Amino acid sequence: MFSYRHAFHAGNHADVLKHTVLIATVQYLTQKEAALTVLDTHGGAGLYRLDGDYASKSGEAEEGVLRLAAAKEAELAPVLQDYLQMVRRFNQGNAIRNYPGSPFITQALLRGHDRLKAFELHPTDMRSLTGNMAQLEVRRQVAILHEDGFEGVKKFLPPPSRRALLLCDPSYELKTDYGRVLDMAADGLKRFPTGTYAVWYPIIPRPEAHDLPKRLKTMATKAGKSWLHATLTVKSNKTSERGGLPASGMFLINPPFNLKDQLKPAMPQLVKLLGQDSNAGFTLESGG
């Protein structure tokens, strides 16, 4: 059984990047009237306590969402303001104690006729996600599936309304996850070439992690699709005192056309606010 628990990492710098991109993408895709289906291949527990045992132990949110929340909100790029406002929806008053995961963020942005299918394989997180979501009474809109997300998405592609976002956010605990992401993206593009595919990945000294965005770029280019690649580094992977992830990236195929422009002012602000040493930086590239 997997030992990865997202509760340790909720609200860290990687979540800030991933969820900022997720919010901007869902906001864009819900502008057209036609129904949107969001497929979340790795849902997690859905809601996290930042003052609970897991998060307090790791302290990762303090170096992520909580640093951002301490900044002057009005001076932040609009996508970062949207991100903070989303997190605040799950909190009362000024203090941020709760953190929403991707299924909750997505659900909060969907309209009545949009749909969310979230997959989660770990029994404990599955129970948490189901229990947390049950409180919202959104049974018609949200399906939570205790299945392998890489395989499970296939039956939903293409979606009836021909509009979908697939978020793929594995823990990469298994080395095979990197290859499975690529297979899933290739298969998804065959089944549903116009879908938006968003992949999160860790930037760590491992050949598979290094190759993943390159292979996604080649795949998108060969298929004649547009792509966007954003990375955020907060510290060197060598001098990390407390361990923890130094950097991560989001790779999108068929991204919203305005996403790059929205991220342009946000990325340097993230570097300034979340950077932990002189290695902090970002990249933002697109093509197709």
CB of 35 to ligand SAM, least distance (A): 22
Q: Is 148 annotated as a binding residue?
A: yes
Residue 169 counted as an annotated binding residue: yes
Nearer to ligand SAM by Cβ, of 46 and 159: the residue is 46
Decide whether 42 or 225 has the Cβ nearer to ligand SAM. 42
Measured from the CB of residue 148, what is the shortest distance to ligand SAM in angstroms?
A: 4
Residue ranges in contact with ligand SAM by CB under 6 A? 2, 4, 6, 18, 42-44, 101-102, 119-122, 125, 148-150, 169-171
Q: Which of 168, 236, 222 is nearest to 196 (CA)?
A: 168
- Least distance from C-beta 73 to ligand SAM, angstroms? 22
Shortest distance, position 224 Cβ to ligand SAM, whole Å = 29
Q: Distance between CA atoms of 225 and 189, rounded to whole angstroms?
A: 9
Q: How far apart are CA 266 and CA 277, in angstroms?
A: 19
Tokens of 275: 């950077």
The residue with its CB nearest to ligand SAM is 101
> Is the Cβ of residue 114 or residue 120 nearer to ligand SAM in the bound state?
120
Cis status, amide bond into 160, omega within 30 of 0? no
Q: Is 120 annotated as a binding residue?
A: yes
Residue 102 among known ligand-binding residues: yes
Rounded Cα–Cα distance for residues 22 and 39 (Å): 12
CB of 155 to ligand SAM, least distance (A): 14
Query: Is residue 122 a known part of a binding site?
Result: no
**Is 113 flagged in the annotation as binding?**
no
Active-site choice (125, 169, 211, 261): 169
- Asked if 53 is an active-site residue, the reply is no
Q: Which residues of 109-118 are buried (b: 16+ CB within 10 A; e: fewer)?
A: bbeeebbbbb
Cα gap 216→213, rounded to integer Å? 5
Annotated binding residues, written as ranges, equal 19, 42, 102, 120, 148-149, 169
Residues serving a catalytic function are 169
Annotated binding residues for S-adenosyl-L-methionine, written as ranges, equal 19, 42, 102, 120, 148-149, 169
